[in-house]
Chains A and B, each alone.
Chain A
Amino acid sequence: MNDPYDIRVLQPESISLSRGAGGVMQGVVDGKPYSELIVFRTFPFLYTTQYLSIRDAKGEELGIVADLEELDAESRDVLRQELRFRYFLPRVTRVDSVKQKTDLWIWELQTDLGPTRLAMRNLHDHMQFPGGSRIILTDLTGKRCEIQDWKKLDGHSRKQLNDVI
Chain B
Amino acid sequence: MPTFEKLPEEIRQFVGSEPLLGVRADLLHDGQFGDQWLTVTESDVSVWLPDGSRVLRLTVETIDDARAVGGIGGGTLIADTQDGPVVILRYTASLASVFNYAAKLIGALAKGEERPAASKNDFPRLCPKCANPLPEDSQSCPICKNNKKVILRMLGYAKPYKPQMIGAAALLILTTLVELIPPYLTKVLLDDVLQPKTMGSTLLWVVVGLAVTSVVLSAMQTVRGLIGVWVGSRLMGDLRKDIYSSLMRLSLAFFDRRQTSQFIGRVNSDSEAMRQFMTDGIIWVAGESLRVVAIFAIMFNLDWRLTMLALLPVPVMIVVSMTVWPMIGRRWYQQWRSIFRLNVLVGDSLQGIRVVKAFGREGTEMGRYEDANREVVRHNIRIEGMWQGLFPLFSFVAGIGTLLIWYYGGWSVLRGEITIGVLMALITYLGMLLGPLQWVSQMINWASHALAAADRVFEIMDTPSEVPDSANPVPVGRVRGEVRFRNITYGYEKHHPVLKNVSLDVAAGEMIGLVGHSGAGKSTFINLICRFYDPDEGIITIDGTDLRTIAQTDLRSQIGVVLQETFLFDGTIAENIAYSKPDATPLEIMRAAKIANAHDFIVRLPDGYDTRVGERGHRLSGGEKQRVSIARAIIHDPRILILDEATASVDTETERQIQEAIARLVKGRTTFAIAHRLSTLRNADRLVVLDHGRIAEIGTHEELLAQEGVYFKLVEAQKELSKIKGVEG
* Chain A interface residues toward B at CB < 8 A: 20-24, 26, 35-36, 38, 44, 81, 84-90, 100, 102-104, 111, 113-116, 119, 121-125, 139-144, 163-165
What are 11 inter-chain pairs, A to B, with CB distance below 8 A? A22-B78, A24-B78, A88-B74, A100-B330, A102-B144, A103-B143, A104-B143, A104-B144, A121-B459, A122-B456, A163-B331
The contact of B337 among A20, A36, A124, by CB within 8 Å, is A124
| Known A85-B76, A121-B143; contact A141-B337, beta-carbon cutoff 8 A | no
Nearest CB in chain A: distance from B464 CB, A: 13
**A114, B32: Cβ atoms closer than 8 Å:** yes
- Report the count of interface residues on B (CB-CB < 8 A): 47
Q: What A residues does B73 contact at CB under 8 A?
A: 87-89, 142-144
**A36, B130: Cβ atoms closer than 8 Å:** no
**A86, B72: Cβ atoms closer than 8 Å:** yes
The contact of A102 among B33, B78, B147, B334, by CB within 8 Å, is B147
**A140, B132: Cβ atoms closer than 8 Å:** yes
Q: What A residues does B92 contact at CB under 8 A?
A: 88, 143
- Minimal Cβ-Cβ distance residue in A for B495: A142
B160 within 8 A of A: no
Q: How far is the CA of A47 from the CA of B92 in the complex (A)?
A: 22
Q: What A residues does B132 contact at CB under 8 A?
A: 119, 140-141
**B84, A22: Cβ atoms closer than 8 Å:** yes
B87 within 8 A of A: yes
| Known A85-B76, A86-B71, A143-B92; contact A115-B330, beta-carbon cutoff 8 A | no
Q: B9-27 toward A: CB 8 Å interface, digit per residue (1/0)?
A: 0000000000000000001
Q: How far is the CA of A99 from the CA of B444 in the complex (A)?
A: 20
| Known A85-B31, A88-B31, A114-B34; contact A123-B84, beta-carbon cutoff 8 A | no
Nearest CB in chain A: distance from B215 CB, A: 48
- Minimal Cβ-Cβ distance residue in B for A104: B130
Q: How far is the CA of A165 from the CA of B334 in the complex (A)?
A: 7
Q: What B residues does A89 contact at CB under 8 A?
A: 72-73
- Minimal Cβ-Cβ distance residue in A for B33: A114
**A23, B456: Cβ atoms closer than 8 Å:** no
| Known A24-B86, A88-B92; contact A163-B130, beta-carbon cutoff 8 A | no
Q: What B residues does A104 contact at CB under 8 A?
A: 129-130, 143-144
* Chain B interface residues toward A at CB < 8 A: 27, 29, 31-34, 69, 71-74, 76, 78-79, 81, 83-87, 90, 92-94, 129-132, 143-144, 146-148, 257-258, 327, 330-331, 333-334, 337, 340, 455-456, 459, 493-494
Q: How far is the CA of A165 from the CA of B378 in the complex (A)?
A: 12
Q: How far is the CA of A114 from the CA of B28 in the complex (A)?
A: 11
Listed residue (A44, A111, A113, A164) with the most chain B CB atoms within 10 angstroms of its CB: A113
**A116, B33: Cβ atoms closer than 8 Å:** yes
Q: How far is the CA of A111 from the CA of B333 in the complex (A)?
A: 26
Closest 5 pairs (CB-CB, A-B):
A22-B86, A88-B74, A23-B87, A114-B33, A88-B73
Known: A103-B455, A104-B143; 12 extra A-B contacts, CB below 8 A, are A21-B86, A22-B78, A22-B79, A22-B85, A38-B69, A88-B31, A102-B147, A103-B144, A111-B33, A140-B132, A142-B493, A163-B331
**B147, A103: Cβ atoms closer than 8 Å:** yes
Q: How far is the CA of A125 from the CA of B254 in the complex (A)?
A: 11
Q: How far is the CA of A116 from the CA of B337 in the complex (A)?
A: 26
Q: What A residues does B78 contact at CB under 8 A?
A: 22, 24
The contact of B87 among A24, A90, A125, A143, by CB within 8 Å, is A24
The contact of A164 among B79, B90, B143, B334, by CB within 8 Å, is B334
Nearest CB in chain A: distance from B222 CB, A: 40
Q: How far is the CA of A88 from the CA of B94 in the complex (A)?
A: 12
Q: What A residues does B29 contact at CB under 8 A?
A: 23
**A163, B327: Cβ atoms closer than 8 Å:** yes
Nearest CB in chain A: distance from B594 CB, A: 45
**A141, B131: Cβ atoms closer than 8 Å:** yes
**B72, A88: Cβ atoms closer than 8 Å:** yes
Q: How far is the CA of A114 from the CA of B74 in the complex (A)?
A: 15
**A20, B33: Cβ atoms closer than 8 Å:** no
- Minimal Cβ-Cβ distance residue in B for A138: B73
Nearest CB in chain B: distance from A157 CB, A: 16
Q: What B residues does A102 contact at CB under 8 A?
A: 144, 147-148
| Known A114-B32, A140-B143; contact A44-B72, beta-carbon cutoff 8 A | yes
Q: What B residues does A100 contact at CB under 8 A?
A: 330
Q: How far is the CA of A84 from the CA of B30 in the complex (A)?
A: 9
- Minimal Cβ-Cβ distance residue in A for B78: A24
**A23, B86: Cβ atoms closer than 8 Å:** yes
The contact of A87 among B72, B90, B147, B257, by CB within 8 Å, is B72
- Minimal Cβ-Cβ distance residue in B for A24: B85
The contact of B84 among A24, A103, A141, A163, by CB within 8 Å, is A24
Q: What A residues does B93 contact at CB under 8 A?
A: 88, 141-143
Q: What A residues does B71 contact at CB under 8 A?
A: 85-88
Q: How far is the CA of A163 from the CA of B335 in the complex (A)?
A: 10
- Minimal Cβ-Cβ distance residue in B for A22: B86
Q: What B residues does A141 contact at CB under 8 A?
A: 93-94, 131-132
Q: What B residues does A24 contact at CB under 8 A?
A: 78, 84-87
Q: How far is the CA of A22 from the CA of B258 in the complex (A)?
A: 41
**B131, A140: Cβ atoms closer than 8 Å:** yes
**B459, A85: Cβ atoms closer than 8 Å:** no
Q: What A residues does B493 contact at CB under 8 A?
A: 142
Nearest CB in chain B: distance from A108 CB, A: 13
